[in-house]
Chain A
Amino acid sequence: MPRETPARIVNELASRGYNTDREAVTLLAEAADTEAAIERAIEAIPDDAIKLSVDDVRDALETGSGRSDRSHNSPSTSSSSPASDGDPLVSTGDEPPEPRDDADRSPVETKGVHSGESPPGTSSRTGRNPDEPSIAGDVTGRSTGTGEYEDFLAVFRDRYEKLSGQLRGRVNHRPTNAVESMPGGSEAAIVGMVADIRSTANGHWLIDLEDTTGTFPALVMKDRDMADVVEDLLFDEVIAVEGTLADDGGILFADSIHFPDVPRTFEPSTADRAVSAALISDVHVGSQEFDADAWNRFAEWLHTPEADRVEYLLLAGDMVEGVGVYPDQDEELDIVDIYDQYEAFAEHLKDVPGDMEIVMIPGNHDAVRLAEPQPAFDEELRSIMSAHDATITGNPSTVTVEGVDILMYHGVSLDEVIAELPEEHASYDHPDRAMAQLLKKRHIAPQFGGHTRIAPEERDYLVMEDVPDIFHTGHVHKLGYGSYHNVLTINSACWQEQTSFQESVNIDPDVGYAPIVHLDKLDQRDASDFLTIRSFG
């Protein structure tokens, strides 16, 4: 057996329904016989746990048997634990491991995961009873822009107004034209949109801050701690800079930089009943790489009692592979006709239980305008996808289900954030970190003129005026989740195997994962309490 790669180990565990953390994977990879170690570790942990921790693995490797007390304290990974004792950090694992002899009889993906999300006694529910989601921040039907200069201007002025409003209370803001006439040496603060960032000959940073009266440069010295923050800045985001004016005026020496940000004190709302939502995206029906088997397993699982409490299915764009998305795409299409693609998607959607509420936004492969905000599917496409009477809304939209606000955005801007920011702050392996950056900037796609396309509207639909409880994106085909100031960030993976393009640029997609969010537990400290990653790939 060749030496195990971490990815294989993760896949192996995921296929058996377990999550794990990085250190645990490392330990397993280093084990003399990785396969046996995995078996041992899995046998050792309690039935209702779905996360394999470092301790589990260490125990398995060292003693060959599980111990009873293990703590789960990694916030960005999930596990489930019985709710009976009310302490998410401790699982009860005293029962002897159950023999896993059912693997041959049904797909391992849907078995072997001993559901920990429903407390004993609640699994006898019959049928779902979801509420109709409510929608905010949707451009559909409200697109008034006609592509004039004034429309663009309105977007950026609206952005400035809304985001500067978030910052004004925190600094003693002055308009740039007022700062210009202030005497040298004074303390000053500017709330501005980043117009330009340059490095000086000596390696310092010069940031042009712009407001409705003009621009003013702020200098960030390279040896200050906040110089690192400059690397996280994107053009056209709104920040506040406090500092001291140079002796001859003309430039602001920055002492601190503030982002609109999510307050640290933010507390997410929760559902007041035991209910969960599946957050997926990037189905890509019509592509030769669409993984129908994974999708079918997912749909089948939704019919099992285990999935009873999953009452909502949120789809963050790219229902189909589309046509003409890239040159010579027809050669890689399984279904060449765009309407047939949506028909096929609709058929796959029918496999999902009829009593679930479904919410869909479009993505960049869908047959709507690419410029953001994207309006929802038009009447013709809706009539094709009418099966579930799904809620069809624009990209982005804030969807409120059971009192929980979920900001759904397809995620095109993630490409740009990942390209622009340092790798440790945003990468394809950690799309959740890029999402955290967007939350910090309180804007879905700050940078204009680059990768992201903007359609001018009367206001900036891409500003996050209110903090969502959950931020859900897709697009990059990588699974990622985390928590930023208590906002759950989830980039759902995809249902499309690696394409030749992805292969050429070295992207290995995560296929067939369905993150399940337990809406009633969002206030729990440990992400494992409110998030379960299901693998069907």
Chain B
Amino acid sequence: MRDADERYFARLEDELDTAMDVARSARERGGDPTTDVEIPVAKDMADRVENILGIDGVAERVRDLEGEMSREEAALALVEDFVAGTVGDYDTKAGKIEGAVRTAVALLTEGVVAAPIEGIDRVEILDNDDGTQFVNVYYAGPIRSAGGTAQALSVLVADYARTLLDIDEYHARDEEIGRYVEEIELYDEDTGLQYSPKEKETRHITDHMPIMLDGEATGGEEVSGYRDLERVDSNSARGGMCLVLAEGIALKAPKIQRYTRQLDDVEWPWLQDLIDGTIGADESEDETGGEEDEDGSADGERDTQDDDASTVDGPPRAEPSKKYLRDLIAGRPVFSHPSESGGFRLRYGRARNHGNATAGVHPATMHLVDDFLATGTQIKTERPGKAAGVVPVDTIEGPTVRLANGDVRRIDDPEEAKEVRNGVESVLDLGEYLVNYGEFIENNHPLAPASYTVEWWVQEFEAAGADVQAMTDSVEIDLDDPTPSRALQWAREYDAPLHPKYTYVYHDVSVEAIDALADAIADGEIVTGDGATAEPGDHADRAGTATGDLVLPRSEIARRTLESLLVEHTQTDASLIVPTWRPLVETLGFNDDLTRPWTLSDLSEAARTYDDGENAIEAVNEIAPFDVRERAPTRIGNRMGRPEKSEERELSPAVHTLFPIGEAGGNQRDVAKAAGHADEMGDAPGEVELEVGRRRCTDCATETYQARCPDCNGITETIYVCPDCDREVDPDESGRAECPRCETIASPTRMTTIDVGEVYQQAMDSVGEREVAFDVLKGVKGLTSKEKMPEPMEKGVLRAKHDISAFKDGTVRYDMTDLPVTSVRPAELDVTVEQFRELGYEADIQGDPLIHDDQLVELNVQDVVLSDGAAEHMLKTAAFIDDLLESYYGLDPYYELEDRDDLVGELVFGMAPHTSAATVGRVVGFTSAAVGYAHPYFHAAKRRNCDGDEDCVMLLLDGLLNFSVKYLPNQRGGRMDAPLVMSSRIDPAEIDDEAHNIDIVEQYPLELYEATREMAHPEDVDVKIAEDTLGTDEEYTGFAHTHDTSNIALGPDLSAYKTLGSMEDKMDAQLEISRKLRAVDETDVAERIIEYHFLPDLIGNLRAFSRQDVRCLGCGEKYRRMPLTGTCRECGGDVNLTVHEGSVNKYIDTATRVAEEFGAREYTKQRLEILDRAIKRVFEDDTSRQTGIGDFM
């Protein structure tokens, strides 16, 4: 590690230690559930694993093993320890296997995610039909967060333990196999699987699987065939099991095989058939099914290879894939249909705000798709991954549009985009789409042919003998943006391909179109600026460019061809005027006298029939006096996924204090209301019957529900009482308190009457606040934690005062979409270079001293950029913490922030959903984009990538002071999304390894571009990626990028999806944009909206209507069916429906209109017609309809 890195981490850790000290002394004084900070600091992954699992000795053993072997191998080695009993303290075989499986999953997920504790419920030993025993692993839904590899290996680990413990294999009964098949299909339909195994694959797996995979029922839908099986407790789909089988075993078979081969005791020979796809005899028909068009190639990792096949007499092309269009949602537009001309053009490169699962889009494009794209908006994409977060990059080419005034031009300036936006008739091309090389590595996707860009050209130019270095240094020459004559001169002089700036998209037009265009040019003339027609001969010796425009007679085919080629021009009723025409006409073989020198018959047969004549690139290369490359061979289709997010995390309804008030506070859970509430006349106001913890003071034996004794302020402890015999029970080591007499589980809670009014008053008094300090203080109905210990209400009073609300674990959180950034400018973060220097930044990326606000600085791995909203929220939280320290804990304030500039340098926790480990980060600046920018390693440490994922930040001291495990819900998944442990420093080797696939070079080599034409595998090209620096001194630094962007928050601040009001407005805007984009088929969009959004909604609501629950308008009581009394049986209040006519038919008119307007298929229209009739038949009174008597006869 470099000294600078050492200093950086030391700084963070010092700051962390200071905060820890403050938090400890506060918690010793206050009424928190424990007297110490509850988020232990983990030095490394081994620590995290041990902390999350709570199995002593694991960390030490993991550290021993880590040096010697891979993590997967370590997981297997640990199995032996568990079996031998050297790690973990388990008496039973089942316990040993369970410990080993949990540890394996924890290891493989770097001790960050909650899967090992929440995703594996238990391991059981059950009996086979032949009397032998087998192992059953019982999974739960949260196993999802472990990912396929860890899921699959958990099974392997269980099997390894099984063989070591000499337990027999599981022999599935026939009906169980049938059940697996049906259940996986059901789950796939209901919830969706990344990989849907074919029926025979599922059969094959379950038939051979030596371990029984079982799990908790997750879905509501039940299987209909194989029900009520003896060894399967539920008729619903078992989500965890389905994930492990499909996305684990079936999808990751090759990976598991790698490890089974290393183990002598474990043999899974059946994996080979799974990998080869040779299950059963009918191999031939399964690969060529009709699913190809929808499924395309990206169906999981297993079948990505089928991209590379292409025909001999056509250009190399990635296979179009429609999959991303599935489940299109109303209001979220399609930007391009698969691989469609006019869609995004693939450009290779990594911008500084680019990393895993991100896509660089020009900010002008964002504006011209009517602001639907903003920084952080998620798009579902055709390739290389499935989804990506949009980042603004203005060093790539913008969109090309046709304006109402006839101008066809490329827009490279976001301001210009906004100016012309209203005049745009058609977006002919969406501009470039920047994808980094590492993204192809990560997705294991063959390289797709690259656009011809300056980065590529310049390397070919140099190879052709040009002194590129000298030209770069020359003031007169701009290699990126040469004049037409210079570009043409270079092409001739060096025999190099024509500069990309003047290379048009010839491969998107047919040979016929080029022929027609050539005719038009031959009929054209050069018109000088003053309108005079120049004599053709005059142009022979011209060196400059501004001598006149090429004016062509307008024809439909010439117009369309110029538009498809993306030649900038102006259209009038009679003509097409091309100002920069010389590169075009020279490419098409013309001299300046515009005499056509060739005819179609001069072309070779191969060129004329290349790609069935639909692609003119070969023809153009025969005509042109120089090489012409394919300008944009790969177009990438995509549509909008989720909008970006930046908002505070609130429970619903929002909660200020985790103090229960039952129904007394009304639906608002208003504490003040509860304080004055009385059930009946004569009841004492404020007294509420509540279930809370049963605790006793260790000093004076006073019974209370609070953490501290109300009499002597002594510490209290939980008392377990048997519900049957009322005797006190001491919990055993595992925390289980079973009554020795009744064998029932003793309860740590009791029902008691609490004077909420008194608690409320005391809380306000204690922190010196009055009711006027806040609008409303909201509590919770009841506590869901095991011991049901309420939070001190004082905290709630202060939260209400500062207008922030608490999450279920007592912390205050702010959610943001994750985006990566590796280098930043202080100016764009709204901070000064002085502040940056104070943070320890000394030099810019070139190594020059940091002096100016706009110098580019490489970001430290744990530094984060907050959105404006997050900064404001953190300021409020800091004020709350200071108040809390002063008036509740009686300590000095910690933050004392005046404005948001003071936030710079403060520490926060980053914490992702489905995980249980927080990562410490440091605020370095702010952005107007509604996202959280941070180093890709920071996101990877939280196990996030950036394809629209979102997670939260918490202020450091808030987490330390207010988090308690005791508040967490006592239910499946309750420990997810809670900071059970924190990582104080990021070890690049211990983060999600997808971050290691980020490329870190300034320029991609020529062979990469050439390899893309071969559609080679990305691993076959040598580009330096982050993985290459792991374990070296350079592992925290040197994240170079190929493309800059002038600001990381260009384009609209918010997606139009969020600024438009109703769903109908959004959908109208979506359809409007689909008409404007050349690459989009608006009829298909309309069909898909109807098919995937409106019809399911209509059908679902109509179905829901006729089997709905009802609810009491008074007390909120729900009834499965209308009570015969008519009114609420609880309170006598009026009962009403939960699904009304309005929610059933709200979309029918819109859907019908859209179907008509956009020419949907007759089938679709009929479905709507039938539904419309069905709805009317339910909601209309026949007898009051004006109908003929014939209807009834």
Binding site for B on A (CB under 8 A): 140-149, 152-153, 156-157, 160, 193, 195-196, 210-215, 235-236, 323-324, 330, 336-339, 367-371, 375, 378-379, 419, 423, 448-455, 504-507
* Chain B residues with CB below 8 A from A337, complex form: 1162-1163, 1166
B1170 near A367: Cβ-Cβ < 8 Å: yes
Distance in Å from the Cβ of A39 to the closest Cβ of chain B?
Answer: 33
CB–CB A152/B1122 < 8 A: yes
Cβ B1123 vs Cβ A506 within 8 A: no
Taking the closest CB of chain B, its distance from the CB of A445, in whole angstroms, is: 11
Min C-beta distance of B233 to chain A, whole Å? 15
A211 touches B1182 (CB 8 A): no
A505 lies within 8 A of B182 (CB): yes
Tell me the bound Cα distance from A40 to B1109 in angstroms.
61
* Chain B residues positioned under 8 Å from A507 (CB to CB): 225
B1179 contact from A147, A193, A368, A454, Cβ within 8 A: A147
Specify which of B222, B226, B1173, B1192 is in contact with A419 (CB 8 Å cutoff).
Answer: B222
| B1117-1168 contacts to A (CB < 8 Å) | 1120-1126, 1129, 1135-1137, 1140-1141, 1144, 1162-1163, 1166-1167
Contact among B178, B1095, B1107 for A450, CB-based, below 8 A: B1107
Complex contacts, B1144 vs chain A, CB 8 Å: 147
A339 to B1177 CA separation, bound complex (whole angstroms): 19
CA distance A449 to B1118 in the complex (A): 13
Report yes or no: B1107 in contact with A323, Cβ–Cβ below 8 A. no
Contact residues, B1168-1193 vs A (CB, 8 A): 1170-1171, 1173-1175, 1177-1183, 1188, 1190-1192
When distances are taken between beta carbons in the complex, the residues of chain A under 8 Å from B1141 are 146-147
Select one of B1106, B1129, B1174 contacting A214, CB under 8 A. B1129
Residues on A with beta carbons closer than 8 Å to the beta carbon of B1191: 141, 378-379
Any A CB within 8 A of the CB of B1103: yes
Q: Contact between B1124 and A455 (Cβ–Cβ < 8 Å)?
A: no
B1178, A142: Cβ atoms under 8 Å?
A: no
Nearest 5 interchain pairs by C-beta: A141-B1192, A453-B1106, A324-B1167, A369-B1177, A369-B1174
Q: Does B895 contact A (CB under 8 A)?
A: no
* Contacts A336-B1163, A367-B1170, A504-B185 given; does A147 touch B1122 at CB 8 Å: no
User: A338 touching B1170 by the CB < 8 A rule?
Assistant: yes
Interface residue? B762 (CB, 8 A):
no
Contact A146 B1125 (CB under 8 A): no
- Which chain A residues border B1124 with CB–CB below 8 Å? 153, 156-157, 160, 193, 210-212
Given A141-B1191, A141-B1192: A448 in contact with B1170 (beta carbons within 8 A) = no
A368–B1129 CA distance with the chains assembled, in angstroms: 36
CB–CB A448/B1136 < 8 A? no
Closest to B185 in A: A504
Q: Tell me which of A146, A195, A212, A371 has the highest count of chain B C-beta atoms within 10 A of its own C-beta.
A: A371
Known interface pairs A144-B1182, A147-B1105, A149-B1136; A449-B1121 also in contact (CB < 8 Å): yes
Sample of 9 more A-B contacts, CB < 8 Å, known A147-B1179, A152-B1122: A152-B1137, A338-B1170, A369-B1174, A371-B1174, A375-B1177, A450-B1107, A453-B1106, A505-B225, A506-B182
Complex partner residue of B1167 from A323, A371, A375, CB under 8 angstroms: A323
**Would A367 and B1173 be within 8 Å (CB), given that A147-B1179, A212-B1125, A449-B1107 are in contact?**
yes
Which listed residue (A149, A160, A452) contacts B1137, Cβ 8 A? A149
Our pick among A235, A369, A451 for the contact of B1121 (Cβ within 8 Å) is A235
| B804 interfacial by beta-carbon distance below 8 Å | no
Assign chain B's interface to a size class: 35 or more
CB<8 Å pairs between A and B, sample of 27: A141-B1191, A141-B1192, A143-B1181, A144-B1183, A145-B1179, A145-B1181, A146-B1179, A149-B1122, A156-B1121, A156-B1122, A156-B1124, A157-B1126, A160-B1124, A193-B1124, A196-B1120, A236-B1121, A338-B1170, A368-B1174, A369-B1173, A369-B1174, A379-B1188, A379-B1190, A419-B224, A449-B1108, A449-B1109, A451-B1107, A453-B1107
A156 and B1137 CA atoms in complex are apart in Å by 14
Chain A residues positioned under 8 Å from B1167 (CB to CB): 323-324
Contacts of A148 in B (CB 8 A): 1137
B1106 contacts which of A236, A367, A454 (Cβ < 8 Å)?
A: A454
Bound Cα distance A196, B1119 (Å): 10
Q: What separation, in Å, do the CA atoms of A202 and B1162 have in the docked complex?
A: 58
Q: Verify A153–B1178 contact, CB threshold 8 A.
A: no
| Contacts A368-B1174, A378-B1191; A213 near B1181 (Cβ below 8 A) | no
B1123 touches A210 (CB 8 A): yes
Closest to B1104 in A: A453
List the A side residues contacting B1166 at CB < 8 Å: 323-324, 337-339
Name the contact of B1110 in the complex, choosing from A142, A149, A213, A338 (C-beta under 8 A). A149
User: How long is the Cα–Cα vector from A147 to B1192 in the complex, in angstroms?
Assistant: 21
Rounded to whole angstroms, the CA-CA distance of A369 and B1178 in the bound complex is 7
Cα(A492)–Cα(B994), bound, Å: 59
Q: How many A-B residue pairs have CB under 8 A?
A: 143
Q: Is the CB of A506 within 8 A of B1181?
A: no
| B191 vs chain A, min Cβ distance (A) | 15
Q: Which residues of B contact A450 (CB under 8 A)?
A: 1107
A423 to B225, CA, bound (A): 12
A193 contacts which chain B residues (CB < 8 A)?
A: 1124
Contact status of A145 and B1178, CB under 8 A, knowing A336-B1163, A367-B1173, A449-B1120: yes
Closest approach, in angstroms, between the C-beta of B180 and any C-beta of chain A?
Answer: 13
Q: Which residues of B have CB within 8 Å of A210?
A: 1123-1124
> Within the complex, what minimum Cβ distance (angstroms) separates B844 from chain A?
56
Rounded to whole Å, the gap between the CB of B220 and the closest CB of chain A is: 11
Least Cβ distance of B710 to chain A in Å? 36
Name the residue in B178, B1129, B1177, B1190 with the highest tally of chain A Cβ atoms < 10 Å from its Cβ: B1177
If A141-B1191, A144-B1181, A505-B182 touch, whether A370 touches B1121 (CB-CB below 8 Å) is no
Are the C-beta atoms of A323 and B1125 separated by less than 8 Å?
no
Q: Is the CB of B1177 within 8 A of A143?
A: yes
Question: Can you name the residue of chain A whose Cβ is closest to the Cβ of B1179?
Answer: A147
Q: B1173 is contacted by which of A235, A323, A324, A378 (Cβ under 8 Å)?
A: A378
Report how far A305 CA is from B1166 CA in the complex, Å: 42
A374: nearest residue on chain B (CB-CB)? B1177
Per-residue CB contact flags for chain B residues 1074-1118 toward chain A (1 = under 8 Å, else 0) read 000000000000000000000100010011011111100000000
In whole angstroms, what is the CA distance A134 to B1121 when docked? 34
Q: What residue in chain B is nearest A211 (Cβ atoms)?
A: B1124
A448 touches B1121 (CB 8 A): yes
Residue from B223, B225, B227, B1177 within 8 A of A368 (CB atoms): B1177
CB distance from B39 to the nearest CB of A (A): 39
Please, how many angstroms separate the alpha-carbon atoms of A372 and B107 in the complex?
Answer: 55
Give the residues in chain B near A157, CB-CB below 8 Å.
1124, 1126
Residues of A within 8 A of B1120 (CB): 195-196, 235, 448-449
Partner of A448, one of B226, B227, B1107, B1162: B1107
CA of A41 to CA of B647, assembled, Å: 80
**Minimal beta-carbon separation of A219 from chain B (angstroms):** 19
Q: Which of B1103, B1107, B1110, B1136 has the most CB of A within 10 A?
A: B1107
Q: What chain A residues lie within 8 Å of B225 (beta carbons)?
A: 504-507
- A454→B1122 CA distance, assembly (Å): 12
CB distance from B747 to the nearest CB of A (A): 15
B1182 touches A142 (CB 8 A): yes
Q: CA–CA, A336 to B1164, complex, Å?
A: 10
Q: Pick from B1095, B1163, B1178, B1181 the residue with the most CB of A within 10 Å.
A: B1178
Q: For A145, list chain B residues within 8 Å (CB).
A: 1178-1179, 1181
Q: Is the CB–CB distance between B1163 and A214 below 8 Å? A: no
Interface centre among B182, B1095, B1140, B1191 (most CB of A within 10 A): B1191
Decide: A505 and B1163 in contact? CB cutoff 8 A: no
| Distance (whole angstroms) from the CB of A517 to the closest CB of chain B | 27
Instruction: Report B-chain residues with C-beta under 8 Å of the C-beta of A379.
Output: 1188, 1190-1191
B1191 CB to closest chain A CB (Å) equals 6
**In the assembled complex, which residues on chain B have CB atoms less than 8 Å from the CB atom of A153?**
1122, 1124, 1126
Per-residue 0/1 for B251-288: is the Cβ within 8 Å of any A Cβ (1 yes, 0 no)?
Answer: 00000000000000000000000000000000000000
